[in-house]
Amino acid sequence: MRKLNLGCGFDKRDGFVNADNFLDCNPDLFIDIEQIPWPTKDSGFDYILLKHVLEHVGAEFGLFRCIMQELYRVVAPEGIIEIHVPHYMHDTWWSDPTHVRAFTPLTFRMMSKTQNDEWIARRANYTMLAYVLGVDFEMVSARQVYDSFWWQKVVEGELTSEQLRILASQQWGVVKELQVQLKAIK
């Protein structure tokens, strides 16, 4: 399997091409995500990991579109892109002044042409991002990672998992991270 750890920083992984634009982390491949095109082949990777990267890039929507198009270009058909981003309702998102964009699972659902087509048929009021971006990703999974303070309350029996899930939709600081897997439809 051809794997890319894009924006690896110091989290270099065995079996991956570790790519970054921060030379101090000694990446295998120098890539500035915001400089298009990237020095990689079309459909060159079966699996791409972006761990706490996407929220830092593409402040202007036009550049964000180019970044998503590059991801789509370099991932193989049926390839998986795994994205970890801080949850917008947690201090870890708001505390970092380099964060430029927040994400929810809906953001990634908007990148599916199948979903867009369904919304178009229903005349739903969503941005048809798959068509706007020129990509087609199906969301395989979306997982919320809870802040350890709140998860400990489940472990200790103070809250049930269902109570925590409901609390997470109502209160800031409960969910720390969103982890999404997208499949490239080509």
pLDDT tens for the chain, residues 1 to 186? 899 999 999 999 999 999 999 999 999 999 999 999 999 999 999 999 999 999 999 999 999 999 999 999 999 999 999 999 999 999 999 999 999 999 999 999 999 999 999 999 999 999 999 999 999 999 999 999 999 999 999 999 999 999 999 999 999 999 999 999 999 999
The total number of residues shown for the chain amounts to 186
Tell me the C-alpha distance between 130 and 77, whole Å: 16
Whether 158 maps to a domain, the answer reads no
Q: What stretch of H or E contains 67?
A: helix 61-74
* CA 117 distance to own-chain centroid: 22
- Classify residue 110: in a domain, yes or no: yes
Take residue 82 and report the two structure tokens written for it: 């795994």
The enclosing domain of 25 has a CATH number of 3.40.50.150
User: pTM for this structure?
Assistant: 0.95
Question: Is position 43 within any domain?
Answer: yes
User: What single-letter DSSP state applies at residue 24?
Assistant: G
Q: State CA 146 to chain mean position distance.
A: 17
Q: Is residue 155 part of a domain?
A: no
Q: Residue 129 CB: number of other CB atoms within 10 A?
A: 22
Q: How many domains does the chain have?
A: 1
| First-to-last C-alpha distance (Å) of the chain | 18
**Does residue 162 lie within any of the structural domains?**
no
| Domain assignment present for 156 | no
For residue 24, give the amino acid letter: D
**Residue 120: which domain range?**
3-147+176-184
Report yes or no on 56 lying in a domain: yes
Q: Residue 11: inside a domain, yes or no? A: yes
